[in-house]
Amino acid sequence: MTDTDDLPRPRPLSMQINISNMIPEESRGAPWYSDGNVVLMSEDTAFKVFKGLIAQHSPKLRDKIENRACEHIDGCPAIVLDDATTDLAHFLGVIHGCDSLRPFRLATKNDFLTLSGILRLATKYEARTIRQRALVPLTKVYPSTLSQWDEAFESNSLLWVLDAVTTVNIARELGALCLLPAALAFLANSTTSREAFGVGIFQTQPLRFAPGLLKTEDVKALSLMKEYNQSTIARTLRFLREQGKERHSLCQRAAEGCCSSKFTGLFVALSVLVATAEGPVGYPTFAIRVQDVVGREDLCGDCRDRVEVGLNRRRRAWWKGLPEAIGFSGWDDERLVVPSCTS
Ligand SMILES: [Zn+2]
C-alpha cells in the first residue's frame, strides 16, 4: 500500500452531484437504499448502502469508511473508492443480499466476470466468507481432484476455453493458487503456443483470446505443463507398445496368437494421431482418444482389463504429478489448499 492510498480520494470529476449535495437519479447505482447510511462512490456511480451490513462482512471496508469519509452527500458520510463500478456493485449486492444478481452462479462468461469481480473485492477488503463462497464455483471448474476434473472436462469445456487465461491471472493476483494446476493443465491441453504467447508458425486459426496476457511466471509454468503433457503421452504410448511385445499368460486367445498384435496396431494408430494433429493434443484429450480406440478394439476380457488398469494408473499418475510439474510440492502443498466454505 502506498501513501497515496491513505489519503481521501477526490470526488470523481464525472460524478454529477447537484447543488443540494444530492446524488442525481442517473448517477445512482444498485444497490441504492434511500434510508441507507453511507454513500460509496466509484467512477461515475454512487451506492447508498448500510454501514452495519458492510461491517458484518468486511471490518476493513468499515474502517476505511470511518477513517476517510470526509463529506456528507445525500445526508450520509460519503467516500470515494478506486474500485471498478461493476465489481463494487456486485460486491455490495452480495453484502446486501440482492439475490437477483445470482452472484455465485458460474454458467456463462458474464457469470465469470461477476464472480471474479466479487472475488477481487472480497480479497481486497478481507471479506473472508464472501471470498470463500466466490471460490467454490471456480474450484468446481478448475478442481483439485481427478473425479471433479473429469466431470468438469466433460461438461464445461466452452467455459474453460473462455476463461482459463483470466483464471490463471486471478489465481495469482488473488492468492487462489488452488485453481492453478487445473487451469494450466487445461490451457496446455487446448491452447496453441500462438494463442498463449502470440507467436506462431502456422496462423490457421483465429485467436480465442488476446495473446500476451499471461505473466512471465505463468508463461514458464505453461511451457512446463505442455512438456509434462508430452512426456505423459509418450509414457502412455510406450505402455501400449510394450503390451504388443509380449504374449500375455492370461490372454483368452492364446491359441490364436494372443491379443498382442492388436496392441501394436493401437500403438501405431495413436502415434500417427499425435504426430499428424494440427491443433494441440494435450494429455487429457489424448487419454480420451485412447479410451475410445481401446474401447472399439476387439480384445479378450483379460487383456482389456489389464490394459484399462494400466491406462487408469497412468492417468492418476498424471493428475498426481500436475502440481509438481509447475513447481509445487504436490497436491498437499499448503499453497494449494482449497478454502472451505462455512456459509
Ligand atoms: Zn487377450
Sign of the C-alpha dihedral, residues 175, 181, 186, 192?
A: positive
Q: Which residue has the higher pLDDT, 47 or 190?
A: 47
Q: What is the pLDDT of residues 155-176, one digit of tens each?
A: 755 555 556 788 888 888 888 8
Q: Which three cell numbers stand for residue 266?
A: 493401437
Average model confidence (pLDDT) for the chain?
84
Q: What pLDDT band is residue 17 in, cutting at 50, 70 and 90? A: low
- What lies within 8 Å, CB to CB, of 59 at 6+ separation is 126
Boundaries of every domain in the chain: 3-87, 109-200, 230-323
Sign of the C-alpha dihedral, residues 204, 207, 208, 212?
A: positive
CA distance linking residue 150 with residue 160, whole number of Å: 13
Q: Which residue has the cell 452495519?
A: 52
In angstroms, what is the span from residue 111 Cα to ligand 1's centroid?
Answer: 50
Predicted confidence at residue 154, as pLDDT, reads: 77
Q: What is the pLDDT of residues 75-125, one digit of tens each?
A: 889 999 999 999 999 999 999 987 655 668 887 778 888 888 999 999 999
Q: What is the mean pLDDT of residues 331-335?
A: 93
Predicted confidence at residue 323, as pLDDT, reads: 97
In angstroms, what is the span from residue 232 Cα to ligand 1's centroid?
Answer: 25
Q: Which three cell numbers stand for residue 242?
A: 510394450
In angstroms, what is the span from residue 285 Cα to ligand 1's centroid?
Answer: 26
In angstroms, what is the span from residue 244 Cα to ligand 1's centroid?
Answer: 11
Predicted confidence at residue 343, as pLDDT, reads: 40
Residue 136 has pLDDT above 80, yes or no: yes
Residue 65 has pLDDT above 60, yes or no: yes
Q: What is the mean pLDDT of residues 15-22?
A: 66
Q: Is 243 left (phi over 0), alpha (psi -120 to 50) or beta?
A: alpha
Residue 209 has pLDDT above 80, yes or no: no
Give 288's Cβ-side CA count (13 Å radius).
Answer: 8
Q: What percent of the chain has pLDDT over 90?
A: 43
- What lies within 8 Å, CB to CB, of 158 at 6+ separation is none
In angstroms, what is the span from residue 309 Cα to ligand 1's centroid?
Answer: 14
The DSSP 8-state label assigned to residue 30 in this structure reads: E
Predicted confidence at residue 248, as pLDDT, reads: 75
Q: Which residue has the higher pLDDT, 341 or 314?
A: 314
Q: Which residue has the cell 483439485?
A: 144
Can you say how many angstroms the Cα of residue 248 is from the centroid of all Cα atoms in its chain? 44
In angstroms, what is the span from residue 241 Cα to ligand 1's centroid?
Answer: 15
CA distance linking residue 313 with residue 330, whole number of Å: 17
Predicted confidence at residue 71, as pLDDT, reads: 75
All residues with CB under 5 Å from ion ligand 1: 251, 253, 259, 300, 303
Q: What pLDDT band is residue 1 in, cutting at 50, 70 and 90? A: very low
Predicted confidence at residue 109, as pLDDT, reads: 78
Say if CB 89 and CB 30 are below 8 A apart. yes
In angstroms, what is the span from residue 33 Cα to ligand 1's centroid?
Answer: 73
In angstroms, what is the span from residue 229 Cα to ligand 1's centroid?
Answer: 29
Q: What pLDDT band is residue 210 in, cutting at 50, 70 and 90? A: low
Give the ranges where the chain is alpha helix by DSSP (H).
Answer: 51-57, 59-68, 85-95, 109-124, 128-141, 146-155, 157-173, 180-190, 193-197, 216-245, 260-276, 283-296, 301-325
Predicted confidence at residue 84, as pLDDT, reads: 93
- What lies within 8 Å, CB to CB, of 7 at 6+ separation is none
**Alpha-carbon Rg of the chain, whole angstroms?**
26
**Nearest-10 crossing angle of helices 180-190, 146-155:** 50
Q: Which three cell numbers stand for residue 17?
A: 452531484
Q: What pLDDT band is residue 2 in, cutting at 50, 70 and 90? A: very low
Q: What pLDDT band is residue 6 in, cutting at 50, 70 and 90? A: low
Predicted confidence at residue 88, as pLDDT, reads: 95
